[in-house]
Chains A and B, each alone.
Chain A
Amino acid sequence: MFANKKAWLVVAGVAAIAGSFAFFSKDDAVDFSAEVKPILNKNCLSCHGGVRAKGGFSLLFREEALANTESGKPAIIPGDPDHSEFIRRLTVKDPEQRMPYKHEPLPAEEIALLKRWVKQGAKWGDHWAYLPVKQQTIPKVNVESPDKNGPWGVNEIDAFIGEKLAANNLQPNKEADKATLLRRVSLDLIGTYPTNEQSKHFLESKDPNAYEQLVDSLLASERFGEKWTSMWLDLARYADTKGYESDQGRNVWAYRDWVIRAFNNNMPYDQFINEQIAGDLLPDPTDAQLIATTFHRNAPNNDEGGTDNEEFRNSGNLDRVNTTWEGLLSSTFACVQCHSHPYDPFRHDEYYQFLAYFDNNRDEDVSSEAPYLRQFSDSDRNSLTMLTQWVQQQAGTTEAKRVKTLVQTFQPAINSFRADSLKNATIINNNGNLAMFNDGWARLPKANLEKADEGMMQVVCYQSGAVIDLHLDSMNGPVFARVPVAKEDKWKRQLFNFPQQSGIHDVFMHFKSSAFKPEPGKNPPLLVFFDFFSFQPSLPGKNAPGYQQAKSDYTRLLVNTNTSGIPIMQENPAAWQHSTYVWERGNRHLKGKDVTPAVPAVLRFAQPANAPANRLGLAQWLTDKRNPLLSRTLVNRFWEQLFGTGIVETLEDMGTQGVSPTHQALLDQLSYRFMNDYKWNMKQLLKEMVMSATYRQDARWNDKAAEDAANKLYARGPRVRLSAEQIRDQALAASGLISYKMYGPGVMPYQPDGIWLSPYNGARWHQSQGEDQYRRAVYTYWKRSSPYPSSIGFDAAQRNVCSARRIRTNTPLQALTTLNDSAFIDMSRHFAQRMTTEAGSDPAKQISRGYELLLYKTIAPKTLQVFTDLYRQSLTEFKSHPDKAIAFLPANNNANPELAALTVVANAMMNLDEVITK
C-alpha cells in the first residue's frame, strides 16, 4: 500500500514540477501565487489557515501571517528570513518543533524558495482567478499545418494552443473528415443530428465556407436552445419535484422554457444572469423576467409533516448562496459557512453578508410554494393589463404596481403557519395550515394595516353560520372587521372590507359559529383551515369612470379565477424585513453579529458604486466587467462542453485548490473578448470555439499522443462519450421517432414499473402518449427522489443541489441500458424499419444505410462483415423460432424474421463506441 502511494506521489510530483516550476536565478522576484501559495496550501494551511490557526499563526492573509503569534512575536519578519520563526521551524531538528508537524520535511529547494520569498518582503499576491480579466497578447507562433500548406490555425484560439504545442514539440492533427466534423459539431451545438438539408448541403458543398455556414445554421436552429438548456439545468438544480419525503410535484417547467428561449434568442449573458438573479427587482418586470427568477426557487423544499419551515427556509437560502458561487463563479464559497475559507481569501462573516442578499426573499418553505406567479389565460392577462393601466391613470405608478403584484401573486400575504398565540386552534403538523376548532383564536403577527381597508384570505370552512372577528392588537382589542364565512367544502379566496386602518399591528382573529353543536363523546372537529391572509388598500378610484368594470375585473381575477402558479423570487416588504446574523460555526442556532448584504471584500472592486444592497446590486456586481469570475466561468464551461474538459478542469473551483488552467492566457483572452468584443453574445463565443482549427482536428491518436494522454495540449480533436441527453436524443433521431415539439410540462417516456414509490404521494409515472413519448431528454419529467433511470445511469446529475460538473464513468450498467432498456429496444425497432424503408431488402445495403444514418460515413468492409454475420445468425434463429420474432417485435404488425434480425443489428449498432462517442 505504502509503496503504491509513493508511486502516486511521484507521478503527481512530476506533473507539478513540469507544470509550475520554471528555472529561476537567485535574484528573480518570487511569484507568490504561482510559487509560494501552492506550497502553503499543500503543507501549511490545514493547520495554519482559515479553519485553524495553531499557535496563533495563520497563513491565509498577509496581515494574519505577519501578526503576533501566541508566542507574542510574529513568525514572519519581512526581509529577514534568518530571524523568522516560520523559516526556522522548517529546518529545526527537534521533531516536536519541525514543520510540517509529523510529516516529511519540505524539500530543500522549497525551503530555499520560501526563504527568498521572506527575504524579498513576504509579498502577498492574489490568485489569478480573483483578478480582473485583461486582454492578452496574441502569441506569435509558427506551427506548420499538417497538410503542409502553410501555417496552422484559423483564429486566436489556435495561436494560444499552437504556442504550447510548439513549446512541447507536438504537431496538431489534420482536420477531421467532413462526416466526423458534421456529427461532432451538430451534437455539440444542438445535441442531436442536423436536418437532412443541413447535412446534405455541408457534405456535398465544395464551398470553403461550408463549415461556417453549417455552424451558423446550427446556431440559428431551435434545437440549439434545448441542448444548452440541458447544461444549464444542472447548475440551476432544476427538477419537477420538491425533493424531500413525499417529493411532491412542482410547477416550474415555464422556467425551463424561459431558458430555452433565452438561449435561442441569444440573450446576452449579462442579461441572462441579471434576470435570473433579480428579474423581480427590475423596474416593471415582465412575466418572463419574473419567471427567470425561478432559477433560485429550484432549491429543494420540505413538506414533510412536522418539519420546521424556518429551518428549510434557511436551507433554501444557503443553497442559493452555494449555487450562485459554484455554478456561476466557480468558487467553493460553501466552505465559508462554518469557518473562514481554508485556502481562498473569503472570511466567515462574508458568507453571511452574502446570505443577506437572499435572506429576505418571501419563500418560507410553505407547500403552496408562495410566492408564485399566477399563470393567467391570455384573455385574463389582457384584463389584468387593462386593470393595471386604469389604476395607473387613477392613482399612479406605485399603486398600479401594487395592484398588479397583488393580483399576480397574492403578495404581500401572511402565510397562515405564521399564526401564533393559538387557542382552540392548531398549525397542522406544525408546519402546514392554520386550522381552528369552534371558538378558535390565533394571532397574525405584524399585519401591515397602513391605509388598509380590505382583506383577503384563502380559506376552507366546513361549518355553517361561522363568523371571524378581527381584533386589533389583543384578544380584547377593538374588532375592526367582522367576516362571515360561508360553509363550502373547497378552498376559496374571500375579500372583505373594513374601515381604513393605519400602522403595523398584530391581528387577533376569532372564529366562531353559533350553529356548531359538539357531538357528545367525540373529539371536536377542526372546522376551518386557512392558507394565507392579506391586508391592503382596496381598489382606488371609487368615483372615477370605469370603476365598475375595474372592480369587477379586480374581484374576478383575484377571487374567482383559479390558476396554476410558478414559484418566483420576491422580497419581503419593508415591514417584514428581518436581520441576518453570522452563524457561529455554521450553526443556525448560534447567532453572532448581524450583517447587511455585501460581496466579499477581495472582490468588492467589481461592485458599481451605486449598486443597491439587494439582489439587483448583487446582479450588477456579478455582471460587471470587472468581476473576474463570471465570464471566466462561462467560457470555461462552454469549452468543457465542446472539448470534454475545461481549461480549468475543476469547473466547480477556480480557486487556489482548483486544478491550474492548461491555457490561462487563452481563458482570459476569450473571457475578455466575450465581455468586451462580443458583448456577452454566447452564440458568438461558441462560434469562435467551434471555428478554431483546434476544435476541428481529427481525434485519432498518433505516435506521440501517449505523451499527452489527457489531451491537455490539444494536439488532437476531442473524442468524448455523449451525455445522457445526447445519447437519448441521438437514438431517437436516428430511429426517426424523435418529436421536436417544444415547451410545456415535463413528459414521461417509457420507464419500467415500480420506479416511483414515494411515501404519502399517490403520483405515478403515467407514460406519455403519442409524440410526447419521444420528446428530447430535456423535457423528461425529473423527480428528484427517483430520477429517470437511464439518464442517471449515464451520469446525469440528480439535481438536488447545483452540479457544476458531471464526471463521466464507464460501467456495465450503462451497457445494459442501451442494450436492453425497452425505450432503446423500441428505438432499435424503428431504426431497423427505417433502414428497410431507405435501403430496400438487401441486408448489406440496409446495414450500410444504418451506419451512414448514425455516423454519416461509409461503413468499412470489415465492419460490414461483422454486422452481416450478426444479421445472418439472427435470421437463422428467428426463422427457426418465428414466435421469438413476434415476441421481439410486439408492436409490429408484419413481424417477420428479417425485420427481427435487422433489429438485433440496429440495437448493436446503436451500442457502438463510435455512436455513443462524439
Chain B
Amino acid sequence: MTTQDFINQRLAEEARLAQLQVQSRRHFLKESAMGLGALAMGSLLGGCGAGSRRADSGLIAFDPARPLLPKAPPFLGKARSVIYLHMAGAPSPLELFDYKPELAKMDGQDCPPSLLAGKQFAFIRGVPKMLGPQAKFAQHGESRTWISEHLPHLSTVVDEISFLKAVKTDQFNHAPAQLLVHTGSARLGRPSMGSWITYGLGTENQNLPGFVVLTSGGNFPDAGKSVWGSGFLPSVYQGVQCRSEGDPVLFIKDPNGMSRDLRKASIDAINKANQQSYDDYKDPEILSRISQYEMAYRMQIAAPEVMDINDEPDYIHEMYGTKPGKSCLANNVLLARKLVEKGVRYVQLFDWGWDAHGDHAGNSLNIGMINKYRSMDKCVTALLLDLKQRGLLDETLVVWGGEFGRTPMMENRNGAVNPFKGRDHHTEAFTIWMAGGGVKKGYTYGETDEIGYYGVSGRVEAFDIQATILNQMGFDHEAFTYPFQGRPFRLTDVSGRVIREIIA
C-alpha cells in the first residue's frame, strides 16, 4: 500500500466515522426519548458557561449506557492519535537539547545571588556551584539543530521535530508538576488529558480501550494513577493500563482451564438470559449490558493480539531495541505504535527514573542518566521513523517531555556537596518536543538565556501544550468543557493558548 492509498483509506474511514457519528447521535436521541441517556441529559445539559462563550458549544453527547461510542471532534484535527512520552522525574535539557556553551565557562563557580533571590528550590540550600553541561553538542539535519552526543539516533531525525525550548511551570515537585502537565491542575482530582480526549472522541476501535497507559522504569510516575485518572469525568474515561507482564489488560484473560469456546458459550448464555429479562422488564439498560458483554468478548481477542510484540519482524525489533518478555521503554514504544495503528486515540507512556539529582550514582548525570539516554534514544527515534514509513506520522502527534527542568547549578542537598553530578528541580525553563500530527518539521520555538536558566522568548506552559494537543485533535480547548462544581470546567482551566508558531 502506498502512502497515498493509506491516506485515502484514512479519509474514507474519517467519512465513515462522521457518518457513524451522525447515526449514533440520531440513534441516541431516539433512544433518549425512551430513556437511554436521559439520566445524563438533565445534569450534563444543565450547565451554562462562565467561560468566554456559552457552554452549550462545548457539550459532548454523553450516554452512560454507551459511553465509548465513537464521536467526531468539533472540527477535523490534523492528528488522529497522540503518543505522549513522559520521562518521569524530569530530564535535563542542558544535557540533551539546550546547548549552553556559556554555562560550561561558569562550571564550578558560585551561583550568582541574582539567580537565587526569591527562588524556592526543592533541595538546593545556600549558594550552590554552577554546573557546566555534561555533554558535547553538535548541529544536525537541515535545520542545523543542536543536539547532544547522548542522542546519536535522535539527532538523525531532528528535521521531523518541533522543539519547545522555553517551557515553564510553577510546580517544583514531581507529583504536582506531573499532575499539572497531564490534568491541568497541580492538585489531585482533575481528569487527565487522555480522559478528556476519550470523553470527546469515544473509542474508535470498539475492541480496544480508547486511552491506553504504558509504564516502564520499575515505578509508576510520582503522581500515581491520578495522572491517567478521570477526575470528575465518569470513571469510564480513565486510562486503561496495559502491561507487558501478566494480563495485558486487567481481567482480559479467561480463567485457567476455560477455553475460548466455553467463554463464548457462557457469554452467549448470559446474553440469552439477559434478553429474557429484557422481554420481561423492557428496561433498555439491559440491552446495553448485552452489548457490553459482546464487546468484552471481542476485546479479549483484540487486546492480547495488539499487546503481543512477538509477531513483529526482526528488523523492527532491532530498530526499537526491544527486549521481548521484559518490561521496558523500548517495548512500550513499539506497543504504542501498534496501538495507534489499531485506532487507539491516546497512548501515554511513563518512563520512571529521570530525576538526576546526583545524590547517588544511579541518578547522576555522568553515570545513571547515560543509561537512561541510551534506553530512550534508539526506541523513540525508531518510533518516528516507523510511524513515518507507515504513513502514520502525519496523523499521530508524538509528544516528548518531563514535568520540569533542571537547574544550571549543581545540587547541594541538605547543605552538603553531592557525591555525583546532579541538578535540582527547575521551573523556569525546560524542553518539550512534538513531532508529526500537523506540527512543523525541523523547527525550534522558544529560547532560554545563555545559561538555560530563564526562557527569554517563546515561553509556553503546560496549558499551552494542552491547548495545542487538543487543537491538533480537533478541539477548541476553550469550548471543550464538562460541568463540575457549578461551572463548565476545561482541561486548560482559565489559561492556555494554542502554540500556532509550531503548527505546520
Contact = CB atoms under 8 A, between A and B. Distances in A.
A887 B254 CA distance: 12
A247 B224 contact: yes
A662 B261 CA distance: 48
Contacts of A12: 41, 45
Interface in A587-645: 645
B45 A334 contact: no
Q: Is the interface of A mostly helix, strand, loop or mixed?
A: loop
Given A523-B416, A810-B292, A863-B276, A758 B219 contact: yes
Contacts of B176: 244, 302, 307
B254 A820 contact: yes
A881 B256 CA distance: 13
B205 interface: no
Nearest to B62: A807
B141 to A, nearest CB: 36
A867 B269 contact: yes
A46 B57 CA distance: 14
Interface string B1-34: 0000000000000000000001001000100111
Interface in B105-141: 120-123, 125
**Residue from A7, A100, A914 whose CB has the most chain B CB atoms within 10 Å:** A914
Given A706-B35, A873-B262, A816 B251 contact: yes
With a 10 A CB-CB cut-off, give which of B215, B247, B269 has the most chain A CB atoms. B269
A382 to B, nearest CB: 41
B39 A710 contact: yes
Contacts of B175: 244-245, 302, 304
A377 interface: no
B273 A757 contact: no
A812 B273 contact: no
A89 to B, nearest CB: 17
Tell which of B59, B243, B256 has the most Cβ of chain A within 10 Å.
B256
A435 B414 contact: yes
A785 interface: yes
A343 B485 CA distance: 11
Given A335-B487, A810-B288, A816-B300, A758 B220 contact: yes
Nearest to B274: A913
A426 interface: yes
A888 B255 contact: yes
Contacts of A342: 50, 486-487
Interface residues of A, number: 132
A244 B483 CA distance: 26
Given A809-B234, A884-B259, A700 B281 contact: yes
B266 A820 contact: no
B61 interface: yes
Interface stretch (A105-113, A153-161, A667-675, A793-801): A793-801
B485 A332 contact: yes
Given A341-B486, A812-B292, A912-B270, A706 B122 contact: no
B342 interface: no
A652 B485 CA distance: 7
A553 interface: no
Nearest to A42: B48
Given A657-B48, A709-B38, A870-B265, A332 B243 contact: no
A863 to B, nearest CB: 5
Contact of B274 (A51, A245, A759, A912): A912
Interface string A97-109: 0001001000000
Interface string A771-809: 000000000000011110110110110101100000111
Nearest to B237: A809
Given A709-B33, A709-B36, A904 B122 contact: no
B77 interface: no
Interface stretch (B66-74, B431-439, B442-450, B451-459): B66-74
Interface string B266-302: 1101101110110011111110111011011001100
Contacts of A787: 225
B203 to A, nearest CB: 10
B218 to A, nearest CB: 7
Contacts of A315: 187
A810 B276 contact: no
A245 B235 contact: no
A336 B53 CA distance: 20
B224 A785 contact: yes
Given A308-B120, A653-B486, A908-B269, A8 B50 contact: no
Nearest to A785: B224
A123 to B, nearest CB: 23
B375 interface: no
B485 A786 contact: no
A433 to B, nearest CB: 11
Interface in A694-748: 699-701, 705-706, 709-710, 719, 721
A308 B61 CA distance: 41
Nearest to B46: A659
Nearest to A803: B232
A41 interface: yes
Contacts of B122: 305-307, 429-430
Contacts of B50: 45-46, 49-51, 342-343
B266 A908 contact: yes
B222 interface: yes
B321 interface: no
B42 interface: yes
B306 interface: no
Contacts of A653: 485-486
Interface in A873-898: 873-874, 877, 881, 883-890
B230 to A, nearest CB: 8
Interface string B201-241: 00000000100000100111111111001000011101010
B143 to A, nearest CB: 36
Given A306-B173, A709-B35, A800-B188, A701 B486 contact: no
Contacts of B286: 913
B285 A721 contact: yes
Contact of B173 (A307, A526, A874, A913): A307
Given A300-B188, A304-B222, A825-B255, A877 B262 contact: yes
A17 interface: no
A243 interface: yes
B385 interface: no
A709 B486 contact: no
Nearest to B265: A873
A429 to B, nearest CB: 6
Contacts of B486: 331-332, 334-335, 341-344, 653, 655, 657-658
Contacts of A22: none
A706 B250 contact: no
Q: Identify the 10 closest CB pairs spanning chains A and B, nearest first.
A: A785-B224, A709-B35, A306-B122, A332-B486, A888-B257, A887-B257, A800-B188, A701-B282, A815-B296, A812-B296
23 contacts: A5-B56, A8-B45, A244-B176, A245-B224, A305-B122, A306-B123, A344-B486, A430-B123, A657-B487, A658-B46, A706-B34, A786-B224, A792-B238, A795-B234, A807-B64, A810-B288, A810-B289, A821-B251, A866-B269, A866-B276, A870-B265, A877-B262, A887-B256
Given A429-B413, A650-B46, A817-B251, 19 more contacts: A51-B50, A332-B486, A343-B486, A701-B281, A758-B224, A784-B224, A785-B226, A809-B236, A813-B240, A817-B250, A820-B253, A862-B276, A866-B273, A867-B269, A881-B259, A890-B256, A908-B270, A913-B274, A914-B273
Interface of A: 1, 4-5, 7-9, 11-12, 15, 41-43, 45-46, 49-51, 100, 103, 243-245, 247, 300, 302, 304-308, 315, 322, 326, 331-332, 334-335, 338, 341-344, 426, 428-430, 435, 523-524, 526, 645, 649-650, 652-653, 655, 657-659, 699-701, 705-706, 709-710, 719, 721, 752-754, 757-759, 784-787, 789-790, 792-793, 795-796, 798, 800-801, 807-817, 819-822, 825, 860, 862-863, 866-867, 869-870, 873-874, 877, 881, 883-890, 900, 904-905, 907-908, 911-914, 917
